[in-house]
Amino acid sequence: MEKSFISGRIWVLLDQNKRLIEDIDTDQIYHNAFLHITEVSQMGQYALGNLEGWKDFSKKASPGDVLIAGRNFGAGSSRQHAVGCFISLKIGLIIAPSFGAIYFRNAVNSGFPVLRCQELDELVAKKALETGDEIKVNFRSGEGLNVSRNTHFKAEPMSAVQYDIYEAGGLFNYGKRISKG
Amino acid sequence: MGKTIIEKIIQDHTKEEVKAEKIVWMDLDIRSARDFGGPNVVKNYEEEYGDAPVADRKKTFFTFDLCVPPSSLRYADNQQICREFARGQRIEVFDVDRGIGSHVLMEEGLARAASTVVGTDSHLNILGAVGSFGQGMGDVDITFAFKTGKTWFEVPQTVKVLIKGSFSSPTTAKDLTLYILKKLGTKKAALKAVELYGEAVRGLDLPGRITLCSMVTEMAGIIGFVPEFGDSLKAEIENFSGTIFSPHKADEDCSYSDTLEIDVSGLSPQVAVPFAPDNVQDVSELKGVKIDSGFIGSCTNGRTEDLALASQILKGKKIKEGVTLKVVPATKRVYKEILERGILEDLFRSGAIISNPGCSGCAEGHIGLTGKGEVQVSTGNRNFAGKQGKGKTYLASPAVVAASCLTGHITNPKDV
């Protein structure tokens, strides 16, 4: 299966002023009250459950959807749950100008696609990306296409390590693959 | 081209040539997991590797600090899951009596200068205080680290921050930390290592360095180092940890992504206003803000020196009626020290609640949670909305928290 492309419907995480919400921390993504849960399948219901304006996200999202977020997405704690909740909902990709360092690693290691895109704020400001649009993104090149508007954008491509881990289906599978060498 | 401190530490742990922004595979000296994340590590490990031994059981630890002893059945279960795995693998557990894992690793000399340490605590970069590269990671990373002793890491760029000027009591390392956080925000050090220089940081003792380095997390930084120090600090750390303190220094010709200056001359006590740790104001701007409760503890301000500072202010006085003060020592060693030095008694007589060591409210542990409408002034490191309950948390030094608990409103310690 070709894994270097993904296409899906986007959710743009805007605040009341129609700007991308920045610094969304892991407590807003997945509150610490539910950290005792260890089954990924149970995590989806709490996704964005503590983020003002988006608490019903888990009910609105469909498998394959793409999340567009502001800079420093996933700041804060190290909880894997904050990635697991999106895997649980079968979200296809998260794009943000930047991510919390641990969050980014957690996503990569889970084989969950995350891409950085510096021009995201600008794209959102000029309404080149709006909730409901269908987009297609190439992980290797970073080339993005807004299918609904037939406009293009550019994200940073995955690094070789990130793509290899994603392609293997996560860090564990990748580790087994390289140890067989 | 010379190397920065983080580049040197990583270079010690990999055969690949290290430079900023390159991803390398590095060896890990210590791999740890807590009662949060730990059960997920066990689950991952058993699913992926069955009962295969960890890479090195003597470099692998559990540290229970989140909800200790457990106040809910789910945490009791999760801790037992970790204990049973640890017994099977013959891994040491620092159990529910020991306190905050990052501090225990420093006290035990396991996290030492120039070492690499990972765990499921996002504040593990606090270990920069002793010159160690500590890094919080998720449970997948930690599972992999248990099994292989390695991790991939993108070598961060380093930003050099020169702290100019000096300050005096009642301003503390926490006020300095909050002020630096105010100036750097969550952007200027984001995803970077930070090297802090200058008179005001050179003179910091170990607890002060712990406070400062702990909040590099809130700056969105990877790790913070305070490379310059006097002879007293070397002796202090060696006595504290029972290990030789020999940290790396940056090369003269190393490359920084940015050099910044922050002037802290005559700095007053600082307070972070809800709901962001970098939303920092001078204590004078918050005069009259009424509080319901105070909290002294956390990995940021839970050392003996922090509690001693609070007890100096509280000794012989009574906390304002209607205000509760919650004190949580960072570790069992701190508990022993405050007991033996009479600090515990002074705190108790002033009306404070003193709990057993741990992380407490920062992670929905025992004490430090707020109800809707409650205003708390805390020595912790985060005041995000909803983090410690539905109330509002202001972040401040142990001195400001103690003074505020005497008056019932946010107070400069010099006014009590």
pLDDT tens readout for residues B61-95: 999 999 999 988 989 999 999 999 999 999 999 99
ipTM value > 0.85: no
Say whether pLDDT at B142 is over 80. yes
Spell out where B149-286 has E strands.
Answer: 150-154, 158-164, 193-197, 223-225, 258-263, 270-272, 280-282
Q: A33 contacts in B (CB within 8 Å)?
A: 364
Residue B205's pLDDT band, with cuts at 50, 70 and 90, is: very high
Nearest to B305 by CA among B239, B398, B401: B398
Q: A109 contacts in B (CB within 8 Å)?
A: 138, 140-141, 144
- Going by their DSSP bridges, the two strands B280-282 and B270-272 should be labelled as antiparallel
Query: What pLDDT score does A2 carry?
Result: 64
Averaged pLDDT for residues B204-211: 98
Q: Cβ(A151)–Cβ(A128) under 8 Å?
A: yes
Averaged pLDDT for residues B262-279: 97
Give the amino acid at B193.
Answer: A
Q: Which of A25, A75, A171 sits opposite B144 (nearest CB)?
A: A171
Query: What pLDDT score does B45 carry?
Result: 97
Suggest the residue from A31, A72, A77, A158 to mutate for an interface test with chain B (most B CBs closer than 10 A): A77
Q: How far apart are CA B344 and CA B354, in angstroms?
A: 8
> What's domain B5-153's superfamily in CATH?
Aconitase, domain 3 (3.30.499.10)
Q: pLDDT tens digits for B373-407?
A: 999 999 999 998 877 888 999 999 999 999 999 99
How many domains does chain A fold into? 1
Q: Cβ(A137)–Cβ(A102) under 8 Å?
A: no
Give the gap in angstroms from C-alpha A97 to the nearest C-alpha of chain B.
Answer: 12
Query: What pLDDT score does B381 carry?
Result: 95
Query: What pLDDT score does A79 carry?
Result: 85
Q: Cβ(B297)–Cβ(B328) under 8 Å?
A: yes
Residue B368's pLDDT band, with cuts at 50, 70 and 90, is: confident
Suggest the residue from A22, A78, A161 to mutate for an interface test with chain B (most B CBs closer than 10 A): A78
Give the gap in angstroms from C-alpha B279 to the nearest C-alpha of chain A.
Answer: 13
Give the gap in angstroms from C-alpha A101 to the nearest C-alpha of chain B.
Answer: 6
Averaged pLDDT for residues B202-229: 96
Query: What pLDDT score does B291 carry?
Result: 98
Domain of residue A42 covers: 5-180
Q: pLDDT tens digits for A28-46?
A: 999 988 988 888 999 999 9
Q: B138 contacts in A (CB within 8 Å)?
A: 78-80, 83, 102, 105-106, 109
From 3.40.50.10210, 1.25.10.10, 3.30.70.141, 3.30.499.10, which CATH number describes the B270-415 domain?
Answer: 3.30.499.10
Q: Which of B138, B187, B276 sits opposite A105 (nearest CB)?
A: B138
Q: pLDDT tens digits for B143-199?
A: 999 999 999 999 999 999 999 999 999 999 999 999 999 999 988 999 999 999 999
What is the longest distance spanned by two Cα atoms in chain A? 52
- Cβ–Cβ gap B140/A109 under 8 Å: yes
Q: A83 contacts in B (CB within 8 Å)?
A: 138
> Of B200-204, B244-248, B386-390, where does mean pLDDT reach its minimum?
B386-390
- Cβ–Cβ gap B138/A32 under 8 Å: no
CATH code 3.40.1060.10 region(s) in chain B = 158-263
> What's domain B158-263's superfamily in CATH?
Aconitase, Domain 2 (3.40.1060.10)
Q: Is A151 exposed, middle or buried (0-12, 13-18, 19+ CB in 10 A)?
A: middle
CB pairs under 8 A between A and B: 96
Hey, what are B299's tokens? 């990995």
CATH code 3.30.499.10 region(s) in chain B = 5-153, 270-415
Q: How far apart are CA B177 and CA A117, in angstroms?
A: 31
What CATH number corresponds to the domain at position A53?
3.20.19.10
What is the residue whose two structure tokens read 């009910």?
A59
- Cβ–Cβ gap A172/B191 under 8 Å: no
Distance set, CA B131 to CA A36, A126, B117, B227 (Å): 33, 46, 11, 8
Q: Which of A75, A102, A110 sits opposite B137 (nearest CB)?
A: A102
